[in-house]
Amino acid sequence: MTEHPFAQYIQILGKGQHGARSLTLQEAEQAMAMILSGGVKAVQLGAFLMLMRVKEETPEELAGFVQAARASLGEMPANTPVDLDWASYAGKRRHLPWFLLSALLLASHGISVLMHGVRGGSEERVYIPEALQALGITVAESREEAAQSLSNHHFAYIPLDVLSPQLDQFLKLKSLLGLRSPVHTIVRMLNPFDALTSIMGIFHPGYDETHQLAGALLKDQNLAVFKGEGGEAERNPDVACRVKMILAGEAMNEEWPALFQNRHLKDADMNVSRLAQLWRGETDDEYGVASVLATAAIALRAMGRASSMADAEKEAARLWSDRDQGYLG
C-alpha cells in the first residue's frame, strides 16, 4: 500500500526515544495546513495531536502551526483596524471574568478590541458569552457583524466556531482524548483581524515563553503573555506576575509585583450581573477593581501606550476614573 502523505509527520514525532525529533517551522506549517484542509484521517489526527501533547510544541512548531491556522481563516472584512487582539478560551471558575471590564474600559476610550474564544465548555466555569449577555452586548455571529461592532463600539466578541469551525471542533476533542492539544495554544495566537497588539493568558508553566518566542518567529510586533487567573489574560492582583512581551518587535520580560499582601478568597458569588454593577459604581469589590485596572495596565503597556509599569497603572486608573458609567447601560 502507498504510504499516506501525512504519515511522515507522525513518523518524525513518533520514531521513539532516539529517532524522534521536533518538526521544523516549515514542516509544522505543512502538517497543520494538511490537517485544516481535511487531508488527514481521524486516527492520524489523534495520533499527531497526542504525540505533540506528550513532547509539547516548540516555538518553531507553534509558529508553523499558527501560520497555517491564520492562512486557513481566509479574508477578513476590509477596513477594520484593530488595536488589540484578546484571546479568551479558558473560562473562569474562582473569580468573575473581570478582564472583560478591562477590555471594555479600553474600548470605551476609543481603543479597538477584538476578543475571540469559545461559547462554553465546563459547566463549572463562566465564559465570556454568558458575561456579555448579562451586559447586554451581542456576540458577533459573523465576521461582518464583528467588523460592524468594532466600528460602532470599538469592541467585538467573535466565537471560534464562527472564525474556524474546524479549529473549534479540534478543541472539543479534549473531551474524547482527555488531554489538551496544541490547538489550545494555537487559537490564542490566531489574531484573526491582524491587530497591532495581542494579549493572551496561559495556565501551564513554560507556555508563556513558547508564545513569546513563537511571536518573535512570526514577527509579531506587540505581544503580552502571562500566567493569568484561571488561564485567562487577567492579572491576579494577589500574586506577582511575570509578563513576557514583544514591544516594537523586541522581546522583553517584566515582573509586575503583587498589589496585596494577603490573598483574597475564592469568589463565593459568580453572578455575572456584578460586572455591570461594579462598572456603574453600584457595588464595591476590592479584588475586582484591582484586577480590572491591573489587567488594563498590562494591555496598555503591551500596546506601547505607557513607557513603564508605573505609567501603565496610572493611565489605567485614569481611564477607570473617567469611564462613562452609562456605557454598559
Take residue 97 and report the three cell numbers written for it.
471574568
Take residue 325 and report the three cell numbers written for it.
458609567
Asked if residue 125 has pLDDT above 80, the reply is yes
Asked if residue 190 has pLDDT above 70, the reply is yes
Strongest mean pLDDT among 14-23, 159-168, 171-180? 159-168
Element (H, E) at 87: strand 84-88
The angle formed by the CA atoms of residues 127, 133 and 139, to the nearest 5 degrees, is 80
Does residue 207 sit within a domain? yes
Take residue 104 and report the three cell numbers written for it.
471594555
As a whole number, mean pLDDT of residues 33-52 equals 96
Domain membership of residue 67 as a residue range: 7-72
Residue 309 carries which side chain, given as an amino acid letter? M
- Does residue 89 share a domain with residue 68? no
Instruction: Report the 10 Å Cβ neighbour count for 122.
Output: 10
Q: How far apart are CA 325 and CA 289, in angstroms?
A: 14
Asked if residue 16 has pLDDT above 90, the reply is no
Q: How confident is the model at residue 122 (pLDDT cuts 50, 70, 90)?
A: confident
The whole-number pLDDT of residue 1 equals 77
Q: How far apart are CA 230 and CA 226, in angstroms?
A: 11
Does residue 78 sit within a domain? no
Does residue 308 sit within a domain? yes
Instruction: Report the 10 Å Cβ neighbour count for 252.
Output: 11
- Does residue 56 share a domain with residue 184? no
Domain with 64 in it: what CATH number?
A: 1.20.970.10
- Does residue 89 share a domain with residue 63? no
Cβ distance 20 to 12 under 8 Å?
Answer: yes
Does residue 2 sit within a domain? no
Asked if residue 28 has pLDDT above 90, the reply is yes
Take residue 59 and report the three cell numbers written for it.
516555538
Asked if residue 329 has pLDDT above 70, the reply is no
Asked if residue 326 has pLDDT above 90, the reply is no
- Does residue 63 share a domain with residue 168? no
Asked if residue 17 has pLDDT above 90, the reply is no
Cβ distance 329 to 153 under 8 Å?
Answer: no
Q: Which of 72, 97, 123 is at the close of a domain? A: 72
The whole-number pLDDT of residue 273 equals 94
Q: What is the pLDDT of residues 87-111, one digit of tens each?
A: 999 999 999 999 999 999 999 999 9
- Does residue 162 share a domain with residue 41? no
- Does residue 213 share a domain with residue 111? yes
Q: What is the pTM of this model?
A: 0.96
Residue 185 carries which side chain, given as an amino acid letter? T
Portion of the chain with pLDDT greater than 90, in percent? 91
- Does residue 227 share a domain with residue 154? yes
CA distances, 264 to each of 94, 120, 277 (Å): 11, 26, 20
Q: Which of 72, 101, 124 is at the close of a domain? A: 72
As a whole number, mean pLDDT of residues 283-306 equals 97
- Does residue 241 share a domain with residue 109? yes
Q: How confident is the model at residue 24 (pLDDT cuts 50, 70, 90)?
A: very high
Q: Mean pLDDT across the chain, nearest whole number?
A: 96
Q: How confident is the model at residue 271 (pLDDT cuts 50, 70, 90)?
A: very high
Q: How many domains does the chain have?
A: 2
First vs last Cα of the chain: how many Å apart?
65
- Does residue 142 share a domain with residue 68? no
Q: Which residues contact 159 (CB under 8 A, 6 or more apart)?
A: 116, 117, 118, 119, 129, 139, 140, 168
